[in-house]
Chains A and B, each alone.
Chain A
């Protein structure tokens, strides 16, 4: 009995000091002098621009990764093709790789002297501009939809899809009426993870953006620049916005978790 309580309070105490206190502190520090200074800080033009840019990048990266994630998952599970093992491995890479390395690889590819560095001379600016930041965000948030959809596709098998095809359904109808309804919750869960990662990404975007204030600064980059510029109110106010998005994400993750309440 004592062992059980010791384990319970040990685990919960660890979580309290590591997780809950820090997150509670963001809110406390932001609002300790009232709501007005915090509100002024998040509605400053620079902060609003950073928020807008963050949402814009997510609005491009998430749909693209969803579309290609579902396509890739179907290809990986339903088809045999040369290089399938390689594709499978490459999909996981962004999870295990440092975001700084991701940022650097794009920096080297699109920067001066890089293979695609010549694009800048033709008026296509990728590095230190929006396209580079979008590419970095797509890279780091790439695996989530694929990884959620693949196990579900494996589990449902191909019986229903084959039956539909036998009855004369076109591949598109089969996908829309059979496959998509089966994988839709997995897709939703993947989209939630992708969005959270896209909004919060720091390391990769930090390197490719050049961190030009008011131009290529996303909300996480804004947090750092405000903190380093000794504007802690601004840093914490922006952090609260990001923490609220994170809390909403956690709630959404509970609602869409594969397997329901079980895990």
Chain B
């Protein structure tokens, strides 16, 4: 900035700064109208009848049970993704086989496929009409399956670039010093991948907690059994209890914010050597 300010005449400098400021102002205004104002309205609505009502709505047996189920299943799905996602990334980077490019491209499919289509198809494949005779419809296992589908890319896509950049000389050095394959993975590869795995897991967890479209058909939405929080919220809107919907939504919002903070911390950790 220093050199340019000298070169520009004073008037131009003032104009350009004003132009940049206006563009920035509009962009931040846009962000506020689209995101911040609705979020503020949500938080306000959840508290408009006092903290007591808010707490009552969150701890209502049906809402509380949905929250517990959502968090439990999301932890399970995120943890499972840590394993499968790392394994898939490993196979895609270190292994070679015909059709690898195709498999690599297919990983993005859950990002691109509308969630309701995913839900419909999983219900058809692993529901009452299953060609394999596996019926997971209206069961918690069905929810797990839908969530595994939609969260698949997160860990794979977080780990892949790190694995690609990982210096193999370190592994070779360890092997030449007599370390077994498992020791090499545990002592060399795993510590290097960990921040990326955790970022991917955190994103997968956030996605699992909020997921709606893929779950709504296969779960059957049975209260106390297969009703997750996002479906509960939609149900409360339909049965005209916006206060209940808003209270549970604020809990989900807080979880999302916490996950984002965590991801920021992982990013900080991963780049600590670059700074």
Residues on A facing B (Cβ under 8 Å):
3-4, 7-8, 10-12, 14-15, 18-23, 25-26, 29, 64, 68, 71-72, 74-75, 79, 81, 83, 87, 89-109, 111, 114-115, 135, 138-139, 142, 162, 165-168, 170-171, 193, 196, 199-203, 206-207, 219-221, 223-224, 227, 235-236, 239, 242-243, 245-247, 249-251, 253-254, 259, 262-263
7 pairs from A and B in contact (CB 8 Å cutoff): A25-B124, A97-B210, A108-B38, A109-B38, A115-B41, A223-B120, A246-B109
C-alpha gap A105/B213 in the complex (Å): 18
Residues of chain A with a CB closer than 8 A to B84's CB: 11, 14
Known: A104-B245, A246-B114. A8 touches B91 (CB 8 A): yes
Alpha-carbon distance between A23 and B24 when the two chains are bound, in angstroms: 42
Hey, which bits of chain B sit against chain A, CB under 8 A?
Answer: 1, 3-4, 7-8, 12, 16, 19-20, 23-24, 26-28, 30-31, 34-39, 41-42, 44-45, 84, 87-88, 90-91, 95, 97, 103, 105-118, 120-122, 124-125, 145, 148-149, 152, 157, 160-161, 164, 181, 203, 206-207, 209-213, 216-217, 229-231, 233-234, 237, 242, 245-246, 249, 252-253, 256-257, 259-260, 263-264
Residues A15 and B242 in contact, CB atoms below 8 Å apart: no
In the bound assembly, the distance between CA atoms of A223 and B113 in angstroms comes to 13
Say yes or no: A19 contacts B234, CB within 8 Å. no
CA of A223 to CA of B177, assembled, Å: 59
Across the interface, which residues of A come within 8 angstroms of B111, CB to CB? 193, 196, 249
**Given A100, A107, A170, which contacts B242 in the complex, CB threshold below 8 Å?**
A107
Contact present for B35 and A90 (CB under 8 Å): yes
**Known A18-B148, A94-B35; contact A253-B121, beta-carbon cutoff 8 A:** no
Extra contacts, 12 of them, besides A10-B87, A109-B41 (Cβ < 8 A), are: A15-B88, A22-B121, A22-B149, A23-B109, A89-B260, A100-B230, A115-B41, A171-B20, A200-B115, A202-B116, A203-B213, A250-B105
Instruction: Find chain A residues with CB under 8 A from B19 CB.
Output: 171
Q: How far is it, in angstroms, between the C-alpha of A25 and the C-alpha of B132 when the chains are bound?
A: 13
A108, B7: Cβ atoms closer than 8 Å? no
Instruction: Find the residue from B28, B44, B160, B181 having the highest chain A CB count within 10 A.
Output: B28
The answer to whether A250 and B112 touch across the interface, beta carbons within 8 angstroms, is yes
Say yes or no: A170 contacts B114, CB within 8 Å.
no
Given contacts A4-B95, A202-B114, contact A108 B233 (CB under 8 A): no
